[in-house]
């Protein structure tokens, strides 16, 4: 059993073909996560007597804080759509987007390697783990290694929550030397 979990759309932007993929399970996970956060806030507020001390404004504040926390966590780990353009990939989440240029990528690590471009997700087999490692922008050999291990913008990006074919397309775009193009599948 497999299902189409990503919806692809091809378009031409400034004379270059682009590829946008919307990841449906990620959008469903966002809706479920935000719904559970609201319900949990409403259930736990009376248990901790928030309504007794601060009334309905306190309950509303607990729900809003819970929703904001879940929204930030989901935006860090859950990409809802991906734009693949020539030489760059844009990973979009609920609150922000991450733009990765091919020149900024040190390597794309995929375990096990993927040899398909299909956007179907097979639910009975293990998915490949894929991590994008970016180059260091500020080499400072005199800096002690204990201060900052990965500066913002240099941390590895885990894109394992996507169909395997999409991971392969991203790897081909960002690291074409190690991931040569595969023929298009129908």
pLDDT digits (tens, 9 = 90+) for 15-45: 777 888 888 888 888 899 999 999 999 999 9
Write the pLDDT tens digit of every residue in 52-106: 899 999 999 999 999 999 999 988 888 888 999 888 899 998 888 888 999 889 8
**119: Cα within 13 Å, side-chain hemisphere:** 19
User: CA 122, CA 164: separation in Å to the nearest integer?
Assistant: 9
User: CA 150, CA 128: separation in Å to the nearest integer?
Assistant: 24
Concatenating the DSSP letter of every residue in 157-183 gives EE--SS-HHHHHHHHHHH-TTTSPPPP
pLDDT value at residue 35: 94
User: CA 79, CA 42: separation in Å to the nearest integer?
Assistant: 28
User: CA 137, CA 104: separation in Å to the nearest integer?
Assistant: 8
What is the share, in percent, of the chain residues with pLDDT greater than 90? 22
pLDDT at 152 over 70: no
Query: Between residues 5 and 120, which one has the greater pLDDT?
Result: 120
pLDDT value at residue 1: 38
CA angle, residues 82, 84, 89, in degrees to nearest 5: 75
User: CA 4, CA 133: separation in Å to the nearest integer?
Assistant: 28
């Amino acid at each position: 059993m497999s299902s189409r979990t990503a919806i692809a759309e091809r378009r031409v932007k400034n004379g270059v073909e682009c590829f946008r993929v919307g990841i449906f399970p990620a959008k469903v996970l966002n809706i479920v996560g935000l719904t559970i956060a609201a319900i949990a806030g409403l259930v736990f507020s009376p248990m901790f007597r928030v309504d007794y001390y601060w009334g309905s404004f306190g309950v509303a504040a607990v729900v809003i804080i819970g929703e904001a926390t879940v929204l930030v966590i989901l935006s860090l780990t859950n990409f809802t759509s991906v734009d693949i353009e020539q030489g760059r990939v844009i990973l979009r989440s609920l609150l922000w987007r991450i733009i990765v240029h091919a020149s900024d990528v040190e390597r794309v690590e995929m375990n096990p390697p993927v040899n398909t471009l299909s956007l179907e997700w097979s639910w009975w087999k293990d998915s490949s783990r894929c991590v994008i490692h970016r180059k260091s922008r500020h080499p400072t050999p005199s800096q002690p290694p204990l201060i900052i291990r990965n500066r913002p913008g240099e941390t590895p990006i885990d894109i394992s929550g996507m169909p395997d074919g999409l991971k392969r397309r991203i790897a081909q775009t960002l690291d074409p030397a190690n991931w040569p193009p595969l023929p298009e599948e129908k």
